[in-house]
Amino acid sequence: MPLTYKKTNRRENQRMNKLLHCLLCTATAGSLLLAASAAAFPVYAEDETDDKNTFTDEMMTYEKISGGVKITAVNPSATIINIPEIIDSYPILGIADDAFAGCASMTELKISAKIKEIGSGAFNGCSALTELKLPDTLTSIGDGAFAKCSGLKELILPDSVTEIGKYAFSYCTSLTHVTLSKNIKTLPSYAFYYDIELNELDIPEGIETISSMSMVGCYSLPKLDIPASVKTIEPLSMLSCSSLKEVSVSPDSESFRTDENGVLFSADGKQLILYPAGIEAESYTVADSVLQIQPYAFSGAIALKDVHVPNGIAAIGDGAFAGCASLQSFDFPASLNQIPASMFIDCASLTSFTIPDTVIMIGDSAFMNCTALQSISIPDSVTAVAPYAFCGCTAIPEITVPETVTQVGDYAFGFQEDTENKDAEAPIPIEGFVLKCQANSAAKDYAAQAGIKYRQSGFDRNILISAGIILLAIAVIAVVILITKKKKTAAPAASENKPEKITDPNYIGILADSDSITEDKDDEQHAE
């Protein structure tokens, strides 16, 4: 099926590009907001309520559930909260979604109850809470349960916990040390999202999956130990961990190993999974044994200036070198026929790049915001250029797009982000940019629709073919005229310089004149 790029995908592409751009920059945690709808602060209820299944005390509201009650609301001005084991003869078994959300004055929380579940957003925004001790009866922590608890400094999850939700401890910007439960199988996406002070994360034996985005923005994390139980580490799990210098793997692991530089590989060494962003080396050579570089493997490695990739490599994932701000040059292996999406996004020092003639496709946002890139040559092998491919390449005055390119995505050439209007829905044209293309080409149609300058490059192929036919016809006519002219001048000379007759019938000679040959034949017939 041929590739198509529809304008209906424009906003989604732009949203994803902006998200990745923000994640790769050293932005403060406050510049990003938790992707969840903000619930209004719960209203403190009086002692009496119309609902027979709910009741209140001086501080909290409860709802009856099977076997006990759960807390559904709290006085938002409370500073010290003690959750007892039993209320009105009912054991307290859970904390409902958003029950304590927005209690910005709460400084101390004591949980005596044998709580089993903490709901989604239960303590979201309790920014004054500095200490938290969870009961050993707790099994589940919901999505965003302690998100934006920016005063929380340490977290110990009891081994009774088997599940934590997405964003569970995201934006806990003072959190420095986390000990996880031994019975959690999956570290979920966004679990410690932008916990910018986190410098120690204990991942115990038992965890099997480290999900995508789980530790994004943990700027202060210097090292990570991977136990043997981990079988899967998803791309982007450690994006923007700019201080991460080493990943160590248990010697008993059957899934992963590291090299002497702390770079993470699959156990067989065929997949390069993660190059820690905090490594200070300026150059790195990928071993010949590596067949695949996983998505975002080198992303954010700001010290890297030079990377050598073997020509025999079979695959490079999306965003593999995204945000490598010091990367100056890169020899793209001829063994690949596509430049992956977001491969060099925000590589602001990349000054030159050669696209080999084996490439047929340039991916979405492949060179987006490569602001130092001064020129690019697109070979005739390329047939498709995806959306945003060269968006933000402000140092390139013009790009020549060959006629072989039949598909050009939105904002692929000649556009940049509107830095003066962060809420702009679309990029704006680069002043003075020119797209060189041929008439009746996809690039020309793109330029006309996008409203950017373009001019015809070289000659149209049809014109060249027509001109070639005309020149060939002229050459043929000239040759015919020349041959005719030579024959006319050669005829008189031939009659004056006829060779002597050869009377020896046994002699066969090679004569240069057809008249002589005819005359010899007449003599032979006459002799008979």
399 three-state secondary structure:
strand
E strand residue ranges, 88-221: 90-95, 108-111, 117-118, 140-141, 154-156, 163-164, 177-179, 186-187, 200-202, 209-210
- Please tell me the predicted confidence (pLDDT) of residue 21: 59
- Please tell me the predicted confidence (pLDDT) of residue 77: 87
Tokens (6 digits) for 12:
């989604």
Tokens (6 digits) for 289:
């044994």
Determine, yes or no, domain membership for 40: no
Determine, yes or no, domain membership for 474: yes
Last residue of a domain, one of 409, 441, 458: 458
Residues 333 and 482 in one domain: no
In what helix (H) or strand (E) does residue 137 lie, and over which residues does it extend?
A: none
Where residue 27 falls among pLDDT bands split at 50, 70, 90?
very low
434 three-state secondary structure:
strand
Residues 335 and 415 in one domain: yes
Determine, yes or no, domain membership for 58: no
Distance, in Å, from the CA atom of 355 to the CA atom of 127, rounded to the nearest integer, reads: 50
- Please tell me the predicted confidence (pLDDT) of residue 83: 93
In what helix (H) or strand (E) does residue 377 lie, and over which residues does it extend?
A: none
- Please tell me the predicted confidence (pLDDT) of residue 408: 98
Q: Is the pLDDT of residue 37 over 60?
A: no
Lowest-pLDDT range of 78-87, 170-179, 313-322: 78-87
Mean pLDDT of the chain: 85
Where residue 423 falls among pLDDT bands split at 50, 70, 90?
confident
Q: Which residues pair with 213 in a beta bridge?
A: none
Percentage, residues of the chain above pLDDT 90: 72
Question: With contact defined as beta carbons under 8 Å apart, do 243 and 222 qualify?
Answer: yes
Distance, in Å, from the CA atom of 267 to the CA atom of 29, rounded to the nearest integer, reads: 35
Determine, yes or no, domain membership for 516: yes
Average pLDDT over residues 479-504: 58
What domain range includes position 468?
Answer: 461-488
In what helix (H) or strand (E) does residue 443 lie, and over which residues does it extend?
A: helix 442-450
Query: How do residues 75-116 score in pLDDT, each as one tens digit?
Result: 988 899 999 999 999 999 999 999 999 999 999 999 988 999
Instruction: State the burial class of residue 61 (Cβ atoms within 10 Å of its Cβ: 0-12, 13-18, 19+).
Output: buried
Lowest-pLDDT range of 301-315, 410-424, 458-472, 499-513: 499-513
Question: With contact defined as beta carbons under 8 Å apart, do 123 and 101 qualify?
Answer: yes
Tokens (6 digits) for 363:
């991916």
Determine, yes or no, domain membership for 67: no
Average pLDDT over residues 222-243: 96
Q: How many CB atoms lie within 10 A of CB 199?
A: 16
Where residue 278 falls among pLDDT bands split at 50, 70, 90?
very high
Tokens (6 digits) for 497:
């310089």
> Cα angle at 515 between 512 and 517, to 5 degrees?
65
Residues 429 and 377 in one domain: yes
- Please tell me the predicted confidence (pLDDT) of residue 2: 35
Question: With contact defined as beta carbons under 8 Å apart, do 216 and 194 qualify?
Answer: yes
- Please tell me the predicted confidence (pLDDT) of residue 52: 76
- Please tell me the predicted confidence (pLDDT) of residue 58: 84
Average pLDDT over residues 432-442: 95
Nearest to 225 by CA among 240, 243, 205, 242: 205
Question: With contact defined as beta carbons under 8 Å apart, do 282 and 309 qualify?
Answer: no
**DSSP letter at 495?**
H
Q: Is the pLDDT of residue 479 over 80?
A: no
Tokens (6 digits) for 421:
């209007």
Nearest to 156 by CA among 182, 174, 189, 119: 182
Distance, in Å, from the CA atom of 147 to the CA atom of 130, rounded to the nearest integer, reads: 13
Residues 403 and 434 in one domain: yes
Largest CA distance in the chain: 148
Determine, yes or no, domain membership for 319: yes
- Please tell me the predicted confidence (pLDDT) of residue 69: 96
Query: How do residues 361-407 score in pLDDT, each as one tens digit?
Result: 999 999 999 999 999 999 999 999 999 999 999 999 999 999 999 99
Where residue 258 falls among pLDDT bands split at 50, 70, 90?
very high
Residues 345 and 364 in one domain: yes
- Please tell me the predicted confidence (pLDDT) of residue 438: 94
Determine, yes or no, domain membership for 122: no
Query: How do residues 480-492 score in pLDDT, each as one tens digit?
Result: 677 777 666 655 5
Lowest-pLDDT range of 123-132, 256-265, 338-347, 517-526: 517-526
- Please tell me the predicted confidence (pLDDT) of residue 493: 52
In what helix (H) or strand (E) does residue 100 lie, and over which residues does it extend?
A: none
Query: How do residues 454-477 score in pLDDT, each as one tens digit?
Result: 998 754 455 445 556 667 767 777
Distance, in Å, from the CA atom of 357 to the CA atom of 380, rounded to the nearest integer, reads: 7
Distance, in Å, from the CA atom of 323 to the CA atom of 317, rounded to the nearest integer, reads: 14
Residues 441 and 328 in one domain: yes
Q: Is the pLDDT of residue 139 over 90?
A: yes
CATH of the domain at 431: 3.80.10.10
Report the number of distinct structural domains present in the chain. Answer: 3
Pair type for strands 200-202 and 223-226: unpaired
What is the edge-to-edge ordering of all strands in the sheet holding 177-179?
154-156, 177-179, 200-202
Q: How many CB atoms lie within 10 A of CB 261?
A: 12
Nearest to 36 by CA among 124, 150, 127: 124
- Please tell me the predicted confidence (pLDDT) of residue 524: 44
22, HSE (Cβ side, Cα atoms, 13 Å): 14
Determine, yes or no, domain membership for 391: yes
Distance, in Å, from the CA atom of 209 to the CA atom of 201, rounded to the nearest integer, reads: 15
Residues 305 and 395 in one domain: yes
Lowest-pLDDT range of 63-72, 174-183, 416-425: 416-425
- Name the residue with higher pLDDT: 312 or 525: 312
- Please tell me the predicted confidence (pLDDT) of residue 513: 42
Residues 379 and 315 in one domain: yes
- Please tell me the predicted confidence (pLDDT) of residue 478: 72
Distance, in Å, from the CA atom of 452 to the CA atom of 153, rounded to the nearest integer, reads: 53
Residues 452 and 466 in one domain: no
Residues 478 and 435 in one domain: no
- Please tell me the predicted confidence (pLDDT) of residue 482: 75
Nearest to 344 by CA among 307, 379, 312: 307
Residues 467 and 503 in one domain: no
Where residue 496 falls among pLDDT bands split at 50, 70, 90?
low
The residues, ordered by sequence, that sit 6+ positions from 33 with a Cβ below 8 Å of its Cβ are: none
What distance lies between CA 413 and its chain's CA centroid? 18
Residues 287 and 392 in one domain: yes
Q: Is the dihedral of CA 425, 426, 430, 431 positive or negative?
A: negative
